Chain A
């Protein structure tokens, strides 16, 4: 038994079970608690504080409620797909964790184990592939509900996810060009090793390509259907969007999958840009440290980075209003994609001249950001049909004096 557990295969299975049951599922449940607490702080309320001390048992009560509510299947739905959709979205949001490097290497006896469930050669592409499957849960759920609101939610989600996958892919390509590998564990150890820049800055990709980091964060929000990109479930327009017909635990699956998606996205960004389990000057989080305490430290560091990004996501949700659909599409196709194409050319040029790890990279980032903002400030928004007629309708505020007598 011990031999099996300390072989890489057995260790991977044990790690998968531990991460899935011991870390992800509880943290997904507690994400909801923190979401409500953070929204309360932002809105100057107390938030959940009745169930248990500080309301800490609130997720347990919520979970019990999901189980005890009536599991109702409306008569007009397409039943097989209606049942499959929550399963698809939940499974897809969980399998992405397999390729995340959680804690470098662990020395047990004379064996050196990788604290990572699977180490495919194309770990980065694996996560993109899994993320691109996530849209099926939304589309299938929206279509099978046989409800116009749900269907509009699904349509919006599809268009949005397909659009934002392109800048996401370009951000990731910038990292791939800089690092020269598709292996997530190698990307982490390349960022963890080496000298500090100017004496104290670790060699994390966020300091090389800050613009790519910010854009990847934005697209991660869009991929997880989070505010300000949550048009798919806009309550004011679509009641609840693609999950409006779902009740009880099936709705809970959609709800939890959104948080699982956020955690996967955050872990992915932490590995790509924030050095994964590496923390500067902490000897236990260097690549050479392989003891038990070092592995625990590394997992705590990557967990802390994930929690920090989750906090920013929630902060954004309760601060920024939702986009209109044309604004959402314009942001992706007319701003982010051209900007990231320029970033891609920059990364290729830097790599060609072997300057991809020099200070020219962040300087070029700032230059591209400045150029984008300069062009964006000078370009006007395309005039939609509704806007064209705005000055002429009766209660246009800028022309109050020009109102014809017959209209009053």
Chain B
């Protein structure tokens, strides 16, 4: 990736940042339309830069651009939509579009895990809580952003920092990390009944995607996975401990009240 491409990316991010800044929900005169125009310009400029400067044309497919546009516009709407319920649903759209991008890269297991864990479990809980908590309209702090300029600035500086490093990443079509190829060789040696069975059914892929993934997780990164699991467990216990409040029962307990009183002076439950 050339230096010119990197600067073009910076320019695109500045454009997108301005668009998102205008689109963020706020009080006063709405500038959503101009923001939307700027942001869509930025998305298409980004895709143009990617198409001509970063991605080898032989490897970029139409589907990549389709799902990339869906993911980017959806992500923009997640932070700019004034209704929290819509934001959560746009987040689902982003998760599904990113899963499609992962499928295009051949990472089917990651894609389906993303859909099951994010779209199927986490985001449905978000949507659940948002809908349950805000039946009578959302409060003022959900309908407008508090520090739009600082938030947008920080976010897009972060994006630019990632883009600056992107020049060091391998391009599509180049050989991937050696760490990914080593377990593949190991996986090929592992004799599993499933692996032997499906070589007649396979067309292109020479080994099972999930098998490779499992070997990477359980051989290369097993300690990391264990630590992450323990951390999540601790976080869950902490959340339960924090959210459990001891409610003192005031007033006469129903069992202490003489017969016949319940339902008249004392609530039955």
A binds B: yes
Whose C-beta in chain A lies nearest to the C-beta of B198?
Answer: A186
Q: When A121-B109, A125-B109 are in contact, do A179 and B124 touch as well, CB less than 8 Å?
A: no
Is the C-beta of A338 less than 8 angstroms from some C-beta in chain B?
no
Whose C-beta in chain B lies nearest to the C-beta of A386?
Answer: B269
Q: When A121-B205, A165-B120, A386-B269 are in contact, do A180 and B193 touch as well, CB less than 8 Å?
A: yes
Cβ–Cβ < 8 Å partners of B259 in chain A:
392, 402-404, 407
How far, in whole Å, are A183 and B198 apart by their CA atoms in the complex? Answer: 9
Q: Are the C-beta atoms of B194 and A181 separated by less than 8 Å?
A: yes
How far, in whole Å, are A125 and B135 apart by their CA atoms in the complex? Answer: 35
How far, in whole Å, are A16 and B113 apart by their CA atoms in the complex? Answer: 25
CB distance from A74 to the nearest CB of B (A): 17
Cβ–Cβ < 8 Å partners of A394 in chain B:
260, 263
Q: Are the C-beta atoms of A181 and B262 separated by less than 8 Å?
A: no
Is the C-beta of A1 less than 8 angstroms from some C-beta in chain B?
no
Q: Are the C-beta atoms of B113 and A135 separated by less than 8 Å?
A: no
CB distance from B77 to the nearest CB of A (A): 12
Is the C-beta of A315 less than 8 angstroms from some C-beta in chain B?
no
Q: Are the C-beta atoms of B128 and A155 separated by less than 8 Å?
A: yes
Cβ–Cβ < 8 Å partners of A122 in chain B:
108-109, 112, 209-210
Chain B window 215-251, contacts with chain A (Cβ cutoff 8 Å), 1 for yes, 0 for no: 0000000000000000000000000000000000000
Is the C-beta of B187 less than 8 angstroms from some C-beta in chain A?
no
How far, in whole Å, are A135 and B119 apart by their CA atoms in the complex? Answer: 10
How far, in whole Å, are A119 and B201 apart by their CA atoms in the complex? Answer: 9
Q: Are the C-beta atoms of A140 and B197 separated by less than 8 Å?
A: no
Is the C-beta of B94 less than 8 angstroms from some C-beta in chain A?
no
Is the C-beta of A128 less than 8 angstroms from some C-beta in chain B?
yes
Interface SS of B by simple majority: helix
**Count, chain A residues at interface, CB 8 A:** 47
Q: How many residue pairs bridge A and B at CB < 8 Å?
A: 124
Say which residue of B86, B131, B262 sits within 8 Å of A139 (CB atoms).
B131
Is the C-beta of A158 less than 8 angstroms from some C-beta in chain B?
yes
How far, in whole Å, are A189 and B262 apart by their CA atoms in the complex? Answer: 65
Cβ–Cβ < 8 Å partners of A135 in chain B:
120, 124
How far, in whole Å, are A155 and B210 apart by their CA atoms in the complex? Answer: 34
How far, in whole Å, are A155 and B132 apart by their CA atoms in the complex? Answer: 8
How far, in whole Å, are A267 and B74 apart by their CA atoms in the complex? Answer: 34
Whose C-beta in chain A lies nearest to the C-beta of B128?
Answer: A158
Chain A window 105-120, contacts with chain B (Cβ cutoff 8 Å), 1 for yes, 0 for no: 0000000001000011
Q: Which chain B residues in 93-143 approach chain A with CB under 8 Å?
A: 96, 108-109, 112-113, 115-116, 119-121, 124-125, 127-128, 131-132, 135
Is the C-beta of B174 less than 8 angstroms from some C-beta in chain A?
no
Q: Which chain B residues in 159-213 approach chain A with CB under 8 Å?
A: 192-194, 197-198, 201, 203, 205, 208-210
B interface with A by C-beta (< 8 Å): 85-86, 89, 92, 96, 108-109, 112-113, 115-116, 119-121, 124-125, 127-128, 131-132, 135, 192-194, 197-198, 201, 203, 205, 208-210, 254-255, 257, 259-260, 262-263, 268-269
Can you report 12 A-B residue pairs in the complex whose CB atoms are below 8 A from each other?
A121-B205, A143-B127, A151-B135, A158-B128, A165-B121, A180-B194, A185-B198, A186-B194, A190-B193, A392-B262, A393-B262, A406-B260
Nearest 9 A/B pairs, CB to CB: A132-B120, A181-B194, A385-B269, A129-B115, A121-B209, A125-B112, A180-B194, A407-B260, A404-B260
